[in-house]
C-alpha cells in the first residue's frame, strides 16, 4: 500500500526566504507524485506533478520539486517566499493503474513579513 508522510504540520518562514516542505512516500511500485495547494476557503489546486519523466519538476508560482528515488522523497521548494504563498500544502501519491490519490497530512505554510 502507498503512503505519504509530510514532515512538519506547520512551517513558518520569512518573506524572501527559502521554502522547503518535506514529503516522503512509500510505494512498492514506481509512483506518480503530486503537490497540491489549498488557499483558505478554496479547493485543492495542483502545483506540480512527477510522472516518471524529468526528476526535477517545475510548477506554478515558482515552486519546484525533485524526485529522489534513493531517498523516497519529493520535497517542495521555492527560492524566495512571498506573502501570497501562505496556504496548506499537500503531497500525494498515486500508483500506475490505480485511480485514488493518497495524501499526506498537509503542511501549513506561514510567511512572516
Partner 1 sequence: EPEVTQTPSHQVTQMGQEVILRCVPISNHLYFYWYRQILGQKVEFLVSFYNNEISEKSEIFDDQFSVERPDGSNFTLKIRSTKLEDSAMYFCASSSGTGETQYFGPGTRLLVL
Measured from the CB atom, the residue of 50 and 81 that comes closer to partner 1 is 50
* Residue 43 makes contact with partner 1 by CB under 8 A: yes
Cβ atoms of 41 and 95 within 8 Å: the answer is no
CA 71 to chain centre: 15
* Residue 90 makes contact with partner 1 by CB under 8 A: yes
Cβ atoms of 2 and 95 within 8 Å: the answer is yes
Contact region with partner 1 (CB under 8 A), list: 16-24, 54-62, 63-71, 104-112:
104-112
CA 13 to chain centre: 16
In the complex, the residues that contact partner 1 under the rule CB under 8 A are 32, 34, 36, 41-46, 49, 51, 90, 92, 96, 98-106
Amino acid at each position: 500500500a502507498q503512503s505519504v508522510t509530510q514532515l512538519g504540520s506547520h512551517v513558518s518562514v520569512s518573506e524572501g526566504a527559502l521554502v522547503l516542505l518535506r514529503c516522503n512516500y512509500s510505494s512498492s511500485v514506481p509512483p506518480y507524485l503530486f503537490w497540491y495547494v489549498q488557499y483558505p476557503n478554496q479547493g485543492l489546486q495542483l502545483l506540480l506533478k512527477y510522472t516518471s519523466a524529468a526528476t526535477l519538476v517545475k510548477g506554478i508560482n515558482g515552486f519546484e520539486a525533485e524526485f529522489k528515488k534513493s531517498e523516497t522523497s519529493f520535497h517542495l521548494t521555492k527560492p524566495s517566499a512571498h506573502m501570497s504563498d501562505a496556504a496548506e500544502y499537500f503531497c500525494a501519491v498515486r500508483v500506475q493503474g490505480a485511480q485514488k490519490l493518497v495524501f499526506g497530512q498537509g503542511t501549513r505554510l506561514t510567511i512572516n513579513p
